Structure 1
Amino acid sequence: MKTLRNVTLLAIAGLLVPLLASSPAAAADRYFCENGKKVSGAILDKYVAMGDVTSPLGCPATDEMATPDGRGRYTHFDGGSIYWTAATGAFPVWGAVRSKWESMGWERSSLGYPKSDELRNQDGKGVRQVFEGGTVYWSAATGAHPVWGRIGATWGEYGWENSAFGYPASDEVDGTGSWADDAGNVHVYRVVTQRFGSGATLFWIPGGATEGCGGECTGYEVAAPGRLVQRVRVNLPTDSDKFVLMVFPTDAGFRGGVNKAPDGWQEVWANTPNPLRLDTADEAESLREQYACHAAYAHQESDGSWNTGNSWDLESERPKVSWTYATNAMFVAIHKCNWT
């Protein structure tokens, strides 16, 4: 009898395995709102913990169903949905975050399944929800957008939504950039960009030599709407603790000369978040000297272009020298703003 009892128990357990895999155990299935829809398993547990019909989800709109990818289960409610997988657990999705997730392809999108409830951010201006592949952030001013990968990591280093960049204001956009070397050869490279609430754009360049970045790098670009500086770009190589500050002068900036260098340098930082890798006064002074050198050295060619190119590349690895060495015509003719 003991052997038969064990065999029977094993058989019953075998029957339970597929049931648990598709709908984890709960006290019992329950019907709500007299609409003939029941809530089951771990989804029921989550629903009850939230206050069931009194929660933002309201009444169930469907029974529990299997997701198309076969990994999980879900139930739609009047106010949102609850999704479950064995790996993530059960979490509700609603509002603008759910709409964004739906537009991307639900669980088959790059986000995958939700891994957290919707969380209110400390600044009181928005919410976020963590998914397997990234996090969706929402604020009334910017809408709902996913953040992930190298751009998400860089944004996080600067303080997420509390940074000078603010909330994401667009999804990532995969595109190309180009630059011309000293010989006039044009180089095209892949660049992924994402716009943020401050107006700044964060970017990721997977690899390949680009202007101001010799391989993979991240960084950000901001408008510097001044009379002398039109925009500023900060390149952050992933294989170095240094960075390159690219300043794009206006026509007046090119013509400003060394005497306008202090004004231009102030415009550089008017809207540019301080690179976290800038950690010494000597590095800051070196960048200022390089800017002044380019301002002193710039002159226009016969075809209308500028001998310094369309941007002034300031490298944090260059040492501090002296204002005289950086800007005096005799020395500039030798080092051309590229001293070591």
Structure 2
Amino acid sequence: MNKLRKVTLLGAACLAAPLVASSPAAAADRDFCGKTVSGAILDKYIELKDVSSPLKCPVTNEMSTPDGRGRYSHFEGGSIYWSPATGAHPVWGAVHDKWEAMGWERSSLGYPKSDELKNADGKGVRQEFEGGTVYWSAATGAHPVWGRIGATWGEYGWENSAFGYPASDETDGTGSWTDADTGQVHTYRLVTQRFASGATLFWTPGGATEGCGGECTGYEVQAPGSLVSRVRVNLPTDSDKFVLMIFPTDAGFRGGIDKAAAGWQEVWANTPNPLRLDTTDKAESLRKQYACHAAYALKKPDGSWNTGNSWDLESERPNVSWTYATDVLFVAFHKCNWT
């Protein structure tokens, strides 16, 4: 993995360090526009062509950061921050504004550890911090990416993936699901982040989560078809298995086996293939599980469906014959959950 593209999996590191009197200086202090620029911050400022750079004139002298770990100078066009662990780096534009809104170096991002970098697609930029990376594009604005969501996004190809750029910050909330057999409602912690494609990437730390027995990451996409409304892919962090959760429309529940092929096409119309979908047997097993649910979904007297509100297709189920998957005699036994 390109070292510069690695997203930190945890929050900003709290590195214990003594108070620093000034950033180490490789050049003498210099005055610009009536303010003094010093040390490593001065070196970076000169490297960027000082007043001719996007930073323009300094508006403060060098100062200590409130956390005592580093130093900074503000400029007309941004800031330069320095710490012993990260060195001196400029922050400007929309990335600067996002970092400021989050609380500067005391935020979960911590200190910048790279200058702003242009992305290979030519559509945006990124800047790496101790606790994650801020991505910006004109269409989506500036948003931080980190942790499990950042790692999953990276596995699929960052901004070059089917998800595109992040279109929101992370949201920490809750999700819920209802057990189809007992009617019990389960709630769980659910961290989500929207992306340019319209998909939502998520992280669930564990517990009674829908379609996942422990910690999971994954993604959910809207599938505005006549048979399928949305698709959710659960990726357990402790195994190479996954669960494909299909949320049918009312027409999808009622469609039967005759609509199974059309519904299966709708599932994949907007859903990126799970990277763990690595064999034809897995793909065929999922397709047969879908057909089984489509053929035998029944509405119960209370108005709910015997399959619950989703059809959960599991990657570890073997690729059985079509007869075993869909014949009524076998379905009465395995209920679309064969082993």
Q: Same fold (TM over 0.5)?
A: yes
CA distance in 1, matches of 2:19, 2:162: 50
Q: What is the TM-score with the length of structure 1 in the denominator?
A: 0.93
Matched, 1:29 2:32: no
| 8 Å contact kept, 2:20–2:69 | no
Could you list the per-position Cα deviations for residues 58-114 of structure 1 after superposition, in whole angstroms to 9, with x for gaps in the alignment?
011110011111111000011000000111000000000000000000000000000
Q: Which residue of 2 aligns with 1:104?
A: 102
CA distance in 1, matches of 2:322, 2:259: 14
CA distance in 1, matches of 2:199, 2:20: 48
Of structures 1 and 2, the one with the larger relative CO (CA 8 A, separation 6+) is 2
Aligned-pair distance for 1:179? 1.1
Aligned-pair distance for 1:185? 1.1
CA distance in 1, matches of 2:20, 2:305: 70
**What secondary structure does 1:175 align onto?**
strand
CA distance in 2, matches of 1:326, 1:111: 49
Could you list the per-position Cα deviations for residues 139-191 of structure 1 after superposition, in whole angstroms to 9, with x for gaps in the alignment?
01110000000000000000000000000000000001111122111111101
**What secondary structure does 2:269 align onto?**
coil
Coordinate RMSD, CA, aligned: 1.1
CA distance in 1, matches of 2:138, 2:23: 36
CA distance in 1, matches of 2:130, 2:229: 39
**What secondary structure does 1:92 align onto?**
strand
Query: Which residue type is aligned with residue 337 of structure 2?
Result: N
**What secondary structure does 2:229 align onto?**
strand
| 8 Å contact kept, 2:285–2:319 | yes
Q: Which residue of 2 aligns with 1:90?
A: 88
Given candidates 61, 70, 73, the residue that maps to 1:72 is 70
**What secondary structure does 1:269 align onto?**
helix
Could you list the per-position Cα deviations for residues 250-282 of structure 1 after superposition, in whole angstroms to 9, with x for gaps in the alignment?
000000001110000000000000000000000
| 8 Å contact kept, 1:21–1:86 | no
Q: Which residue of 2 aligns with 1:59?
A: 57
Matched, 1:183 2:187: no
| 8 Å contact kept, 1:26–1:40 | no
Q: Which residue of 1 aligns with 2:258?
A: 259
Q: Which residue of 2 aligns with 1:339?
A: 338
Q: Which residue of 1 aligns with 2:117?
A: 119
Q: What is the TM-score with the length of structure 2 in the denominator?
A: 0.93
Q: Which residue of 2 aligns with 1:235?
A: 234
CA distance in 2, matches of 1:270, 1:72: 49
User: What runs of 5+ residues in structure 2 fail to find an aligned partner?
Assistant: 1-17
| 8 Å contact kept, 1:164–1:273 | yes
CA distance in 1, matches of 2:300, 2:23: 73
Q: Which residue of 1 aligns with 2:319?
A: 320
CA distance in 2, matches of 1:260, 1:104: 49
**What secondary structure does 2:259 align onto?**
helix
| 8 Å contact kept, 1:165–1:199 | yes
CA distance in 2, matches of 1:121, 1:215: 35
Aligned-pair distance for 1:19? 10
CA distance in 2, matches of 1:23, 1:108: 19
CA distance in 2, matches of 1:85, 1:283: 49
| 8 Å contact kept, 2:188–2:209 | yes
**What secondary structure does 1:22 align onto?**
coil
Q: Percent identity?
A: 84
CA distance in 1, matches of 2:60, 2:166: 33
Give 1 or 2 for the bigger CA radius of gyration.
1
Size of the alignment, in residue pairs?
321
Query: Which residue type is aligned with residue 253 of structure 1?
Result: G
| 8 Å contact kept, 2:167–2:196 | yes
Q: Which residue of 2 aligns with 1:214?
A: 213
**What secondary structure does 1:307 align onto?**
coil
Matched, 1:155 2:153: yes
Q: Which has the higher helix share?
A: 1
Q: Which residue of 2 aligns with 1:14?
A: none
Aligned-pair distance for 1:204? 0.3
User: What runs of 5+ residues in structure 1 fail to find an aligned partner?
Assistant: 1-17
Q: Which residue of 2 aligns with 1:136?
A: 134
CA distance in 1, matches of 2:88, 2:292: 60
CA distance in 1, matches of 2:23, 2:238: 46
| 8 Å contact kept, 2:244–2:312 | yes
Matched, 1:330 2:329: yes
